[in-house]
Structure 1
């Protein structure tokens, strides 16, 4: 099972990525929530180029990625869950939930620490909000996130299957809740009891600071309620709210690949 996971990890993640991406892209094409300010071709070509660059860098610097670290942890018996001898089913559940909470707090810190915000604002500077926004992150943020994740896996003793499930869930959730769709109100109200919905996370991309400093969750919606960072709806409504950062409006600076990579280093 372990060798199968390591061998097929890339294909499983790619399959999930393209499957969810295609579904959300078609959905927001047929029933968009908000009109886009720019053509898909202009933003998508650059956002997806950044995704490809990030994936390439991760594969070069971390060939076995997070799942490979988890396999090593299992073999060596490192981490709290292994030391306590927690059964696989329970340890998988605990690991997925704990890693999701870790991503929540990591997200909070990337907003609160100026040096980290310089990297994270690449994600927030997107002038539109759609499925590609969910994968638009600066390479240095991706690398830091991977290092934090690996450290957590070692300390926790997360099983490889849990790490794979978490990686797929996180990636799929990011594309889902960044997509330019709007669930029916009753459906949204039910789904966001458990998972972060597009309407819930869109609030986080508002230009109003109070709204930006809320709804940090990516997958499970419970963390924002538990840690008092939950905002139900934007003040201006989903059609009236302003997306992005008010000080960054020039498309060539925030939407081009070159602009996104250099953005954290510009005054």
Structure 2
């Protein structure tokens, strides 16, 4: 089975399971109907997939294969045992994605692109693929450079990409885990409650909890926030300047990077 087929299969399985869990144990009441939001978010996903297929495609995996054949990368220079090198490569990629996320919030030009993701007025698993195609392509270029520099093995890249896709769905899910389970899981992993804080309309909360899969980076670098000030049921999701649903259609989101409005009213500069 090809790399693309594996990713589609795993993505579909994760989506189906999480959709059932969301229906069974929702965390919050919705502001918009699922049909409206899912149609918009699925539209972005299709544009993103088309952009990848027409440009870089499976570039990270192909770069991993090329780097392996050429002996490139830090991990190969260290000559660690394969298992240790695989774990190190996975963890380093996750750390790099954390820093990428921080940069997308800190650099104004990158924030213009990334804020498309933050304009969702509700949060559920479909938010996990609500990204502007510019962000998808920039992220892919970033990962290609990382894979070449680190020398991550091809199968580790496949595992990381699959984990990243599944974690994006899980961390955005409108899912009530229970306080005890959430507390234990977030010692290592990013849970839905932890990541929901990041989607708060409050700027200080928006600029926290940047992790995608491992939660340790936010704790280590001082960006961890335990709970939203207003509580999960009453917090406002989104950006203060983008709360009108009629302005958040597919065409509006694709054009959003060209708007000068920051969206995070009251954010410290």
Query: Which of the numbers 250, 255, 262 marks the counterpart of 1:262?
Result: 255
Distance 1:202 1:194 in 2: 16
- Map residues 204-223 of structure 1 onto 2, 5 A cutoff: 204-223=198-217
Query: Which of the numbers 6, 15, 36 marks the counterpart of 2:9?
Result: 15
- Map residues 5-84 of structure 1 onto 2, 5 A cutoff: 8-84=2-78
User: What's the counterpart of residue 178 of structure 1?
Assistant: 172
Q: Indicate the RMSD between aligned Cα atoms, in angstroms.
A: 1.0
- Map residues 1-267 of structure 1 onto 2, 5 A cutoff: 8-254=2-248, 256-267=249-260
Q: Work out the number of aligned pairs and report it.
A: 260
Unaligned runs of 5+ in 2: 261-269
Q: Is the contact made by 1:101 and 1:223 (CA closer than 8 Å) also made in structure 2?
A: yes
Q: Is the contact made by 1:132 and 1:175 (CA closer than 8 Å) also made in structure 2?
A: yes
TM-aligned CA deviation for residue 182 of structure 1: 1.6
User: What's the counterpart of residue 265 of structure 2?
Assistant: none
Deviations 1:225-248 (A, max 9, x none): 000100011111000100000111
Question: TM-score, normalising length from structure 1?
Answer: 0.95
TM-aligned CA deviation for residue 29 of structure 1: 1.4
Q: Is the contact made by 1:59 and 1:65 (CA closer than 8 Å) also made in structure 2?
A: no
Deviations 1:144-189 (A, max 9, x none): 1111110010000010011111101111011001000121111111
Distance 2:251 2:82 in 1: 44
Q: Following superposition, which runs of at least 4 residues in structure 1 exceed 6 angstroms of deviation? A: none
Deviations 1:69-125 (A, max 9, x none): 101110111111122222221111111100000000100010011100000000000
Unaligned runs of 5+ in 1: 1-6
3-state SS, counterpart of residue 37 of structure 1: coil
Distance 1:63 1:134 in 2: 19
Q: Is the contact made by 1:252 and 1:259 (CA closer than 8 Å) also made in structure 2?
A: no
Q: Is the contact made by 1:177 and 1:197 (CA closer than 8 Å) also made in structure 2?
A: yes
Question: TM-score, normalising length from structure 2?
Answer: 0.94
Higher percent of residues as helix: 1
Distance 1:215 1:252 in 2: 29
